[in-house]
Amino acid sequence: MYGRIRSSYRATGFAAAVAIGLVCVFGGGSSETLAQEGKPQALIEKTFPHSTKCKRCHERVYEEWETSPLAKSIHSPAFRASLDVYMNSSGGKDKALCFRCHAPHVREFQDHAQLFADQAKAGTPSLDGVACSQCHLIRHVDRAKSPPEPTYEIGGKTLYGPYKDFVQNLAHQSMELSLFQKSDLCLNCHQSVPSAVNLGKANDLLGNWDQSRAVKSGKECQTCHMPQQVGESANGEKKRTVANHSFPGRIGKVRQNAAKLDVQTKVEGEKTTVTVKVQSLVPHNLPATHPAWATVVLDLHVKGKNLKTVFADKRIYGRTYMDAKDQKTVFDFEAVKVLDDTVLKPEETRIETFLFPTPKDTKTFDVEVVLNYGPLTGPAFFVERVEAESSQGSQDPAFQPIEIIKRTENVPVGK
């Protein structure tokens, strides 16, 4: 589960020039004036200050966030291509829909949803997607609603975070809020997909996460997705325990702790059986199935003489959807039904069995088992569009499998 930005350490007042420069973070004229002047982007950025303003005093946090998936929430080629498909298929009926998670401040600017769409499709948006103020202005999350609904601090100068000992400064007020140490903060975007609300629990992204052993032991989303480290939050501040803002998940080292594999191979004459125990170690569905093409793939390769592959098979963990025309779709906003669900449930163990002919003309053979996050898939027009949108083309990381864990063993054939 992707975590949310939460550090509330703020700039110190020891550098007057910096502090004076930051007075403008929440400044720049009244909302009424900006609105009357027809400058919706200026109004949006006055209400939700751009992350580059935060960088002036929070360089470490900014640099971590800049490498994260959150920073690319409306930049990524896959999002832009999906947005086009959504706009075309829905006729733009609800332009704000995709942005409620990818640029959540659109909730306060429904009338300007087209601006968010135009910015995203341009490929180089000047508006933020999910950045500092989109999280640190949240003061409450209503879990009674589906999906959970955030309440923002609008029109003030207070930013929220998890720490009591924040540093007073001239840029903004700071306030401790226990919400920033709880998974609730993440749920308004990561529990369900608004476009697939008609599917109800059938398309729950996280599963029964709140019943997991991890949660019962006191772990929150931030435990894994905002791991603690020693550093400074504001420039020049004394080093202390702070939260990492690179949000590791599918990308980052945290995935290496997402699952365990146990491989057992049994040779019985001309037939061999490989049994793989796949154990999910995460307290939520693996994968969390948004985007809708998200899969985790268990690949088996058996290599015989001269390391030639003599057998290969796979198991795919994910969801398959059907649209209103009874066609399979990878777009959850088109889905009217879940056809198949093989997602690994929270902390689930699954046993997979593979049967194949024992390799011949060799004394031993190799068994290689890899659990990967699967690459982006979909109809040809969509894949081609993503490739065209990306500066890396077909080499874009979206098209590459991402290894979670790998096991190999050399197996004797016997006499």
Min mean pLDDT across 19-33, 120-134, 170-184, 387-401 is at 19-33
Task: Identify the CA nearest to 11 among candidates 116, 167, 150, 174.
Answer: 167
Please report, rounded to a whole number, the percentage of residues in the chain having pLDDT higher than 90: 71
What is the model's pLDDT at position 237? 84
**Alpha-carbon span 296 to 373, nearest angstrom:** 4
**Model confidence band, residue 92 (pLDDT cutoffs 50, 70, 90):** low
Mean pLDDT of 163-177: 84
Sequence-distant (≥ 6) Cβ neighbours of residue 329 within 8 angstroms: 292, 321, 322, 323, 335
Q: Is the pLDDT of residue 156 over 90?
A: no
pLDDT tens per residue across span 104-155 = 999 999 999 999 999 999 888 899 999 999 999 999 999 998 778 999 999 8
Mean pLDDT of 198-203: 77
**Alpha-carbon span 254 to 262, nearest angstrom:** 19
Mean pLDDT of 285-289: 93
Task: Identify the CA nearest to 106 among candidates 131, 86, 134.
Answer: 134
> What six digits make up the tokens of 88?
């075309």
What domains can you pick out in the chain, each with its CATH number? 16-243 (no CATH), 253-412 (2.60.40.2360)
Q: Is the pLDDT of residue 9 over 90?
A: no
Mean pLDDT of 186-207: 83
Please report, rounded to a whole number, the percentage of residues in the chain having pLDDT higher than 70: 90
Query: What's phi and psi for 189, nearest 5 deg?
Result: -115, -25
**Model confidence band, residue 90 (pLDDT cutoffs 50, 70, 90):** low
What is the model's pLDDT at position 19? 38
Q: Is the pLDDT of residue 50 over 60?
A: yes
Min mean pLDDT across 32-36, 260-264, 269-273 is at 32-36
SS3 of the chain: the string is: CCCCCCCCCCCCCCCHHHHHHHHHHHCCCCHHHHHHCCCHHHHHHHHCCCHHHHHCCCHHHHHHHHCCCHHHCCCCHHHHHHHHHHHHHHCCCCCCCCHHHHCHHHHHCHHHHHHHHHHHHHCCCCCCCCCHHHHHCEEEEECCCCCCEEEECCCCCEEEECCCCCCCCCCCEEEECHHHHCCHHHHHHHCCCHHHHHHHHHHCCCCCHHHCHHHHCCCCHHHHHCCEEEECCCCCCCCEEEECCCCCCCCCHHHHHCEEEEEEEEEECCEEEEEEEEEECCCCCECCCCCCCCCEEEEEEEECHHHCEEEEEEEEECEEEEECCCCEECCCCCEEEEEEECCECCCCEEEEEEEEECCCCCCEEEEEEEEEECCCCCCHHHHHHHHHHCCCHHHCHHHCCEEEEEEEEEEECCC
**Alpha-carbon span 330 to 326, nearest angstrom:** 13
Min mean pLDDT across 17-31, 168-182, 239-253, 342-356 is at 17-31
Task: Identify the CA nearest to 124 among candidates 77, 78, 91, 161.
Answer: 77
pLDDT tens per residue across span 233-255 = 888 888 889 999 999 998 888 89
